[in-house]
A = this chain, B = another copy of it.
Protein backbone atom coordinates (compact mmCIF):
# COMPACT_ATOMS: atom_id res chain seq x y z
CA UNK A 1 0.00 0.00 0.00
CA UNK A 2 1.98 2.95 -1.29
CA UNK A 3 2.27 5.50 -4.02
CA UNK A 4 -1.17 7.04 -3.44
CA UNK A 5 0.32 10.53 -3.17
CA UNK A 6 1.44 10.42 -6.75
CA UNK A 7 -1.82 9.38 -8.40
CA UNK A 8 -4.76 11.65 -9.16
CA UNK A 9 -8.00 10.25 -7.68
CA UNK A 10 -9.61 10.23 -11.12
CA UNK A 11 -6.98 7.64 -12.12
CA UNK A 12 -7.92 5.33 -9.22
CA UNK A 13 -10.43 2.50 -9.53
CA UNK A 14 -12.46 1.65 -6.45
CA UNK A 15 -13.58 -1.91 -5.76
CA UNK A 16 -15.96 -3.06 -3.03
CA UNK A 17 -16.85 -6.55 -1.90
CA UNK A 18 -20.14 -6.17 -0.04
CA UNK A 19 -20.62 -9.28 2.09
CA UNK A 20 -23.41 -10.17 4.46
CA UNK A 21 -21.39 -8.99 7.46
CA UNK A 22 -18.42 -6.98 6.14
CA UNK A 23 -17.67 -4.61 3.28
CA UNK A 24 -14.12 -4.67 1.92
CA UNK A 25 -13.14 -1.61 -0.13
CA UNK A 26 -9.93 -0.92 -2.01
CA UNK A 27 -8.42 1.70 -4.32
CA UNK A 28 -6.35 0.42 -7.25
CA UNK A 29 -3.86 2.58 -9.14
CA UNK A 30 -3.26 2.43 -12.91
CA UNK A 31 -0.42 -0.07 -12.37
CA UNK A 32 -2.83 -2.42 -10.61
CA UNK A 33 -1.43 -1.78 -7.13
CA UNK A 34 -3.81 -1.62 -4.18
CA UNK A 35 -3.03 1.81 -2.66
CA UNK A 36 -5.64 1.83 0.13
CA UNK A 37 -7.99 -0.66 1.81
CA UNK A 38 -10.76 -0.22 4.36
CA UNK A 39 -13.17 -2.70 5.93
CA UNK A 40 -16.36 -1.99 7.80
CA UNK A 41 -19.60 -3.66 8.82
CA UNK A 42 -22.30 -3.94 6.16
CA UNK A 43 -25.66 -2.34 6.92
CA UNK A 44 -28.98 -4.11 6.33
CA UNK A 45 -31.41 -3.54 3.49
CA UNK A 46 -31.17 -1.15 0.53
CA UNK A 47 -30.50 1.96 2.64
CA UNK A 48 -28.07 0.22 4.98
CA UNK A 49 -26.07 -1.25 2.10
CA UNK A 50 -25.88 2.04 0.21
CA UNK A 51 -24.84 3.81 3.44
CA UNK A 52 -22.06 1.27 3.97
CA UNK A 53 -20.80 1.63 0.42
CA UNK A 54 -20.87 5.43 0.61
CA UNK A 55 -19.09 5.48 3.98
CA UNK A 56 -16.39 3.07 2.77
CA UNK A 57 -15.70 5.11 -0.36
CA UNK A 58 -15.63 8.34 1.66
CA UNK A 59 -13.16 6.74 4.07
CA UNK A 60 -10.94 5.79 1.13
CA UNK A 61 -11.24 9.40 -0.11
CA UNK A 62 -10.18 10.76 3.24
CA UNK A 63 -7.22 8.37 3.50
CA UNK A 64 -6.07 9.29 0.02
CA UNK A 65 -6.62 13.04 0.46
CA UNK A 66 -9.17 12.91 -2.34
CA UNK A 67 -12.13 14.55 -0.66
CA UNK A 68 -14.50 16.21 -3.04
CA UNK A 69 -12.82 14.67 -6.11
CA UNK A 70 -14.46 11.75 -7.90
CA UNK A 71 -12.64 8.45 -8.40
CA UNK A 72 -12.24 7.02 -11.88
CA UNK A 73 -14.71 4.20 -11.37
CA UNK A 74 -16.51 2.24 -8.66
CA UNK A 75 -17.14 -1.49 -9.00
CA UNK A 76 -19.26 -3.33 -6.44
CA UNK A 77 -19.49 -7.08 -5.91
CA UNK A 78 -22.68 -8.26 -4.19
CA UNK A 79 -24.01 -11.71 -3.24
CA UNK A 80 -27.06 -11.76 -5.50
CA UNK A 81 -28.28 -12.06 -9.04
CA UNK A 82 -26.92 -9.14 -11.07
CA UNK A 83 -28.49 -8.10 -14.36
CA UNK A 84 -26.22 -7.98 -17.42
CA UNK A 85 -26.56 -4.18 -17.38
CA UNK A 86 -24.32 -4.09 -14.30
CA UNK A 87 -26.80 -1.91 -12.42
CA UNK A 88 -29.62 -3.94 -10.89
CA UNK A 89 -29.32 -6.66 -8.24
CA UNK A 90 -32.03 -9.13 -7.18
CA UNK A 91 -32.38 -11.85 -4.52
CA UNK A 92 -29.49 -10.55 -2.39
CA UNK A 93 -31.03 -12.26 0.65
CA UNK A 94 -27.93 -11.88 2.85
CA UNK A 95 -28.07 -8.10 2.34
CA UNK A 96 -31.84 -7.76 2.81
CA UNK A 97 -32.25 -6.61 -0.78
CA UNK A 98 -35.05 -8.07 -2.88
CA UNK A 99 -34.49 -5.94 -5.99
CA UNK A 100 -32.63 -2.64 -6.37
CA UNK A 101 -30.92 -0.50 -9.01
CA UNK A 102 -27.82 -0.37 -6.83
CA UNK A 103 -25.75 1.55 -9.39
CA UNK A 104 -28.32 4.38 -9.49
CA UNK A 105 -28.68 4.37 -5.70
CA UNK A 106 -24.91 4.70 -5.22
CA UNK A 107 -24.63 7.30 -7.98
CA UNK A 108 -27.20 9.42 -6.15
CA UNK A 109 -24.63 9.70 -3.35
CA UNK A 110 -21.26 9.42 -5.12
CA UNK A 111 -19.91 10.69 -8.45
CA UNK A 112 -18.25 8.44 -11.03
CA UNK A 113 -19.07 5.39 -13.15
CA UNK A 114 -20.61 2.65 -10.99
CA UNK A 115 -20.88 -0.99 -12.05
CA UNK A 116 -22.32 -3.91 -10.07
CA UNK A 117 -21.20 -7.54 -10.37
CA UNK A 118 -22.09 -10.78 -8.67
CA UNK A 119 -19.57 -11.32 -5.84
CA UNK A 120 -18.40 -14.75 -7.01
CA UNK A 121 -17.85 -13.51 -10.56
CA UNK A 122 -15.99 -10.47 -9.18
CA UNK A 123 -13.82 -12.71 -6.99
CA UNK A 124 -13.09 -14.88 -10.02
CA UNK A 125 -11.84 -11.86 -11.98
CA UNK A 126 -9.76 -10.75 -8.99
CA UNK A 127 -8.28 -14.20 -8.37
CA UNK A 128 -7.33 -14.40 -12.04
CA UNK A 129 -5.49 -11.08 -11.79
CA UNK A 130 -3.84 -11.92 -8.44
CA UNK A 131 -2.64 -15.29 -9.77
CA UNK A 132 -1.24 -13.63 -12.88
CA UNK A 133 -3.24 -16.32 -14.65
CA UNK A 134 -3.39 -16.80 -18.38
CA UNK A 135 -5.76 -19.02 -20.32
CA UNK A 136 -8.67 -20.32 -18.29
CA UNK A 137 -9.38 -20.47 -14.58
CA UNK A 138 -12.32 -21.43 -12.43
CA UNK A 139 -12.84 -19.82 -9.04
CA UNK A 140 -14.81 -22.09 -6.72
CA UNK A 141 -16.43 -20.22 -3.86
CA UNK A 142 -16.93 -22.30 -0.73
CA UNK A 143 -19.17 -20.31 1.57
CA UNK A 144 -22.73 -20.53 2.79
CA UNK A 145 -23.44 -21.90 -0.68
CA UNK A 146 -21.25 -23.24 -3.49
CA UNK A 147 -20.81 -21.50 -6.82
CA UNK A 148 -18.07 -20.97 -9.37
CA UNK A 149 -16.87 -18.12 -11.52
CA UNK A 150 -15.19 -18.98 -14.81
CA UNK A 151 -12.60 -16.69 -16.39
CA UNK A 152 -11.36 -17.24 -19.93
CA UNK A 153 -8.53 -15.10 -21.28
CA UNK A 154 -9.25 -12.65 -18.49
CA UNK A 155 -12.96 -12.27 -19.20
CA UNK A 156 -15.62 -13.55 -16.79
CA UNK A 157 -17.85 -16.06 -18.54
CA UNK A 158 -21.46 -15.03 -18.01
CA UNK A 159 -23.49 -17.64 -19.88
CA UNK A 160 -26.75 -17.08 -21.65
CA UNK A 161 -29.01 -16.48 -18.63
CA UNK A 162 -26.65 -15.94 -15.72
CA UNK A 163 -26.61 -19.59 -14.59
CA UNK A 164 -22.94 -20.17 -15.53
CA UNK A 165 -20.99 -21.49 -12.55
CA UNK A 166 -24.04 -22.74 -10.61
CA UNK A 167 -22.29 -26.07 -10.06
CA UNK A 168 -23.55 -26.17 -6.46
CA UNK A 169 -26.89 -27.45 -7.71
CA UNK A 170 -25.61 -30.42 -9.63
CA UNK A 171 -26.63 -33.64 -7.94
CA UNK A 172 -23.84 -36.17 -7.48
CA UNK A 173 -25.75 -38.65 -5.31
CA UNK A 174 -29.44 -39.48 -5.77
CA UNK A 175 -29.42 -40.89 -2.21
CA UNK A 176 -27.68 -37.82 -0.77
CA UNK A 177 -29.06 -35.18 1.57
CA UNK A 178 -31.95 -33.00 0.45
CA UNK A 179 -30.81 -29.61 -0.89
CA UNK A 180 -32.68 -26.37 -0.23
CA UNK A 181 -33.17 -26.23 -4.02
CA UNK A 182 -35.37 -29.33 -3.87
CA UNK A 183 -33.00 -31.92 -5.34
CA UNK A 184 -31.08 -34.60 -3.45
CA UNK A 185 -27.31 -34.89 -3.23
CA UNK A 186 -26.44 -31.50 -4.70
CA UNK A 187 -22.81 -30.46 -4.34
CA UNK A 188 -24.06 -27.58 -2.18
CA UNK A 189 -26.04 -29.96 0.05
CA UNK A 190 -22.80 -31.84 0.70
CA UNK A 191 -20.30 -28.97 0.86
CA UNK A 192 -22.17 -25.71 1.48
CA UNK A 193 -21.53 -24.11 4.85
CA UNK A 194 -25.24 -23.58 5.54
CA UNK A 195 -26.14 -27.18 4.66
CA UNK A 196 -23.35 -28.56 6.85
CA UNK A 197 -24.36 -26.30 9.75
CA UNK A 198 -27.97 -27.40 9.46
CA UNK A 199 -27.11 -31.08 9.44
CA UNK A 200 -24.63 -30.61 12.33
CA UNK A 201 -27.49 -29.02 14.21
CA UNK A 202 -25.57 -27.34 17.03
CA UNK A 203 -25.52 -23.58 17.48
CA UNK A 204 -22.12 -22.13 16.73
CA UNK A 205 -20.50 -19.04 15.28
CA UNK A 206 -18.21 -21.26 13.17
CA UNK A 207 -20.15 -24.48 12.64
CA UNK A 208 -17.89 -25.94 9.93
CA UNK A 209 -14.84 -25.38 12.12
CA UNK A 210 -16.69 -27.13 14.95
CA UNK A 211 -17.39 -30.05 12.61
CA UNK A 212 -13.69 -30.30 11.76
CA UNK A 213 -12.75 -30.12 15.47
CA UNK A 214 -15.28 -32.82 16.33
CA UNK A 215 -14.11 -34.96 13.42
CA UNK A 216 -10.54 -34.66 14.66
CA UNK A 217 -11.82 -35.85 18.05
CA UNK A 218 -13.41 -38.89 16.40
CA UNK A 219 -17.11 -37.92 16.35
CA UNK A 220 -18.60 -40.20 13.63
CA UNK A 221 -21.28 -37.70 12.53
CA UNK A 222 -18.64 -35.00 12.14
CA UNK A 223 -16.33 -37.37 10.25
CA UNK A 224 -19.18 -38.10 7.84
CA UNK A 225 -19.96 -34.41 7.35
CA UNK A 226 -16.29 -33.59 6.76
CA UNK A 227 -16.05 -36.43 4.25
CA UNK A 228 -19.18 -35.19 2.48
CA UNK A 229 -17.65 -31.71 2.29
CA UNK A 230 -14.52 -33.12 0.67
CA UNK A 231 -16.61 -35.21 -1.73
CA UNK A 232 -18.68 -32.19 -2.74
CA UNK A 233 -15.67 -29.97 -3.36
CA UNK A 234 -13.89 -32.74 -5.30
CA UNK A 235 -17.02 -33.27 -7.41
CA UNK A 236 -17.15 -29.55 -8.22
CA UNK A 237 -13.49 -29.59 -9.25
CA UNK A 238 -14.14 -32.60 -11.52
CA UNK A 239 -17.17 -30.90 -13.09
CA UNK A 240 -15.16 -27.77 -13.85
CA UNK A 241 -12.19 -29.65 -15.33
CA UNK A 242 -14.10 -32.35 -17.24
CA UNK A 243 -16.46 -29.78 -18.74
CA UNK A 244 -14.14 -26.87 -19.47
CA UNK A 245 -10.67 -28.27 -18.83
CA UNK A 246 -9.66 -25.07 -17.06
CA UNK A 247 -5.95 -24.74 -16.34
CA UNK A 248 -6.56 -24.27 -12.63
CA UNK A 249 -9.26 -24.19 -9.99
CA UNK A 250 -8.81 -21.57 -7.26
CA UNK A 251 -10.73 -22.11 -4.01
CA UNK A 252 -12.08 -19.13 -2.10
CA UNK A 253 -14.87 -18.19 0.26
CA UNK A 254 -15.29 -18.45 4.00
CA UNK A 255 -14.48 -22.15 4.29
CA UNK A 256 -10.98 -21.50 2.93
CA UNK A 257 -10.33 -19.90 6.33
CA UNK A 258 -9.94 -23.51 7.54
CA UNK A 259 -6.63 -23.49 5.68
CA UNK A 260 -4.74 -26.76 5.34
CA UNK A 261 -7.43 -28.59 7.30
CA UNK A 262 -9.73 -28.05 4.31
CA UNK A 263 -7.27 -28.42 1.46
CA UNK A 264 -5.87 -31.67 2.90
CA UNK A 265 -9.22 -33.47 2.88
CA UNK A 266 -10.02 -32.13 -0.61
CA UNK A 267 -6.62 -33.22 -1.87
CA UNK A 268 -7.09 -36.69 -0.36
CA UNK A 269 -10.50 -37.03 -2.04
CA UNK A 270 -9.15 -35.96 -5.44
CA UNK A 271 -6.26 -38.44 -5.11
CA UNK A 272 -8.69 -41.19 -4.10
CA UNK A 273 -10.70 -40.54 -7.28
CA UNK A 274 -7.49 -40.78 -9.29
CA UNK A 275 -6.71 -44.06 -7.58
CA UNK A 276 -9.96 -45.56 -8.87
CA UNK A 277 -9.68 -44.14 -12.38
CA UNK A 278 -6.54 -43.92 -14.57
CA UNK A 279 -8.41 -41.35 -16.69
CA UNK A 280 -8.99 -39.06 -13.70
CA UNK A 281 -5.44 -39.69 -12.50
CA UNK A 282 -4.10 -38.49 -15.86
CA UNK A 283 -5.80 -35.13 -15.30
CA UNK A 284 -3.77 -34.55 -12.09
CA UNK A 285 -6.67 -32.68 -10.51
CA UNK A 286 -4.96 -32.29 -7.12
CA UNK A 287 -2.15 -30.36 -8.83
CA UNK A 288 -4.59 -27.95 -10.42
CA UNK A 289 -6.35 -26.83 -7.22
CA UNK A 290 -5.07 -24.09 -4.92
CA UNK A 291 -6.70 -21.88 -2.30
CA UNK A 292 -6.70 -18.10 -2.11
CA UNK A 293 -4.63 -16.92 0.86
CA UNK A 294 -6.61 -15.83 3.94
CA UNK A 295 -7.72 -12.20 3.72
CA UNK A 296 -7.11 -12.07 -0.03
CA UNK A 297 -8.60 -8.95 -1.61
CA UNK A 298 -9.65 -10.99 -4.68
CA UNK A 299 -13.33 -10.03 -4.58
CA UNK A 300 -12.73 -6.29 -4.07
CA UNK A 301 -9.95 -6.28 -6.67
CA UNK A 302 -12.17 -8.07 -9.16
CA UNK A 303 -14.95 -5.57 -8.47
CA UNK A 304 -12.48 -2.75 -9.19
CA UNK A 305 -11.50 -4.39 -12.48
CA UNK A 306 -15.10 -5.03 -13.48
CA UNK A 307 -16.10 -1.54 -12.35
CA UNK A 308 -13.54 -0.03 -14.68
CA UNK A 309 -14.98 -2.24 -17.44
CA UNK A 310 -11.50 -3.71 -17.55
CA UNK A 311 -11.96 -7.26 -16.36
CA UNK A 312 -9.08 -8.43 -18.52
CA UNK A 313 -6.64 -8.56 -15.65
CA UNK A 314 -3.83 -7.45 -17.92
CA UNK A 315 -2.67 -5.09 -15.20
CA UNK A 316 0.50 -5.58 -13.23
CA UNK A 317 0.18 -6.76 -9.64
CA UNK A 318 3.16 -6.42 -7.34
CB within 8 Å of B: which residues of A?
A: 135-136, 148, 150, 157-167, 169-175, 179, 181-183, 235, 238-247, 273, 276-280, 283
Q: Which residue of B lies closest to A135 (CB)?
A: B160
Tell whether, in the assembled complex, residue A170 and residue B277 are in contact, meaning their CB atoms are under 8 Å apart. Answer: no
Pick the 3 closest A-B CB pairs, nearest first: A159-B245, A182-B277, A164-B245
| Chain B residues within an 8 Å CB radius of A162 | 245
Distance in angstroms from A183 CB to nearest chain B CB is: 5
With both chains docked as a complex, state the minimum distance between the C-beta of A157 and any C-beta of chain B, in angstroms.
7
Complex Cα spacing A241 to B158, Å: 12
Whether A163 contacts B241 in the complex (CB less than 8 A), given A169-B277, A169-B279, A183-B273, comes out as: yes
Complex contact A160–B277 (CB within 8 A): no
Which chain B residues lie closer than 8 Å to A241 at the CB level? 163
In the complex, what's the smallest C-beta–C-beta distance from A90 to chain B, in angstroms? 12
Say which residue of B148, B239, B276 sits within 8 Å of A239 (CB atoms): B239
* Min CB–CB distance A279 → chain B (angstroms): 5
Q: A183's closest neighbor in chain B, by CB? A: B277
Across the two chains, which residue of chain B brings its CB closest to A158? B245
